[in-house]
């Protein structure tokens, strides 16, 4: 089935063309480059995986309960609007919410793939080109994974959110080589990584847990790549150049915050205009959504500080958003945790699969022994090994 058949509303265009500007840069310096960047490149090569094999696609998913989390996490839960809904309508709320969320993950991963390819093209040093090439493959795998999940397990896809689209447009159309890093590696991927982590930690369903865990293992390296490249470059910026980047970050963070409102989910549920207004009012005042929005900046804020964009006006913007305290998060600790969780999930799955195989073998052996015991005449008349019948 074509993905276009699964969209809640048809995308505006079959393809979205973004006019890119900038310079493609070749370098003739093929020495070893920066040790830390090359170590990240080696890790990127070592950690490649196949989505068709590493993920257990035979696991069932209820499209009306994709993540298996309580209804209390839904912004309108407990409101008069929620109480008026039938059981069938509430099921659709759950389905559309998950479809919208994973659809934006999918579109963001395609954007990351294109941004990574642009980094390969435009970044001046070869070691960064090497790593960005591995990231391009990572992002292709992530887009493949989320597309398959939505098509086969959820059966519903949303078009790209207008705020995410706007930030991607600004990121890709900028001619400066560092802007794909800043827009994608720091802002879009930073927010996505936090969202993946929150859902990974609360879902009770094994398939989405696998997907989110394995994608996060890659994304943690990507954010580290952006930090490493920009931290060095931004030390050399003039005050005016640094202010331009801070303006971009502030605007991008507001776009990302507004993206989380997800008004299009409520518009596609067959609600009246006044009911959509009720839903958005609940989203704005939901304590769970306030916490969710705040935690989603747990990866962006410390990363922005780490790369050297930390002026008083930027801090004021984060204070206004209610996320300034996230500056104290340790990105290195979070990245190590992402790696460990993925390794632990693999170990648990392989141990369980080994145990299941051993149990199957033992059961087969026991069944054979029972059958032999039940038919002793067959054993008596059977020719001895090596004998001529």
pLDDT of residue 81: 96
pLDDT of residue 358: 58
pLDDT of residue 69: 94
pLDDT of residue 377: 57
Task: Give the chain's length.
Answer: 389
pLDDT of residue 126: 86
Phi, psi angles (nearest 5°) of residue 80: -55, -35
Q: Please give the model's pTM, rounded to 2 decimal places.
A: 0.83
Burial class (CB in 10 A: 0-12, 13-18, 19+), 282: buried
Q: Which residues contact 223 (CB under 8 A, 6 or more apart)?
A: 185, 186, 189, 190, 193, 299, 303, 331, 335
Terminal CA-CA length for the chain: 58
pLDDT of residue 13: 62
pLDDT of residue 381: 53
Residues forming beta bridges with residue 7, ordered by sequence position: 157
Nearest one of 297, 302, 299, 305 to 322, comparing CA atoms: 297
- Provide block-wise average pLDDT over 10 residues at a time, the chain (389 residues): 76 68 70 74 89 96 96 93 96 96 94 92 87 93 97 95 90 89 89 90 96 92 85 92 95 84 89 94 87 84 94 94 90 89 91 66 69 62 51
DSSP 32: -
Q: Is 308 left (phi over 0), alpha (psi -120 to 50) or beta?
A: left
Per-residue burial over 135-173, b = 16 or more CB atoms within 10 Å of its CB, e = otherwise: bbebbbbbbbbbbbbbbebbebbbbbbebbbbbbebbbe
pLDDT of residue 389: 45
Nearest one of 211, 59, 62 to 147, comparing CA atoms: 211
């Amino acid at each position: 089935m074509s993905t276009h058949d699964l969209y809640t509303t048809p995308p505006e265009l079959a393809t979205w063309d973004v006019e890119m500007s900038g310079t493609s840069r070749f370098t003739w310096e093929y020495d070893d480059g920066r040790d830390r960047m090359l170590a990240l490149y080696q890790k990127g090569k070592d950690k490649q995986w196949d989505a068709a094999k590493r993920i257990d696609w035979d696991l069932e998913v209820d499209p009306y309960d994709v993540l298996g989390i309580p209804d209390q996490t839904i912004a309108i839960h407990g409101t008069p609007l929620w109480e008026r809904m039938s059981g069938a309508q509430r099921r659709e709320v759950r389905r559309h919410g998950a479809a919208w969320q994973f659809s934006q993950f999918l579109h963001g991963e395609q954007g990351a793939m294109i941004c990574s390819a642009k980094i390969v093209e435009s970044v001046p040093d070869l070691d960064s080109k090497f790593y960005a090439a591995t990231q391009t493959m990572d992002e292709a795998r992530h887009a493949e994974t989320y597309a398959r999940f939505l098509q086969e397990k959820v059966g519903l896809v949303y078009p790209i959110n207008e705020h995410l689209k706007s930030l991607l447009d600004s990121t890709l159309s900028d001619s400066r080589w560092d802007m794909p890093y800043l827009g994608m590696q720091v802002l879009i991927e930073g927010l996505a990584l936090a969202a993946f982590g929150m859902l990974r930690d609360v879902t009770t369903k094994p398939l989405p847990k696998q997907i989110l865990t394995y994608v996060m293992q890659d994304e943690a390296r990507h954010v580290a790549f952006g930090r490493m490249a920009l931290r060095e470059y931004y030390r050399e910026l003039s005050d005016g150049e640094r202010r331009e980047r801070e303006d971009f970050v502030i605007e991008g963070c507001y776009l990302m915050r507004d993206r989380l409102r997800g008004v299009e989910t409520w518009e596609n549920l067959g609600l009246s205009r006044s009911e959509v207004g009720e839903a958005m009012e609940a989203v704005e005042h939901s304590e769970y959504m306030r916490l969710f929005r705040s935690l989603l900046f747990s990866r962006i804020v410390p990363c922005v500080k780490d790369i050297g964009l930390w002026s008083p006006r930027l801090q004021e913007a984060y204070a206004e958003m209610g996320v300034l305290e996230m500056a104290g998060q340790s990105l290195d600790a979070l990245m190590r945790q992402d790696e460990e969780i993925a390794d632990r999930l693999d170990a648990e799955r392989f141990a369980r699969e080994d145990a299941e195989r051993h149990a199957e073998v033992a059961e087969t052996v026991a069944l054979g022994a029972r059958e032999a015991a039940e038919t002793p005449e067959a054993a008596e008349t059977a020719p001895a090994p090596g004998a001529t019948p």
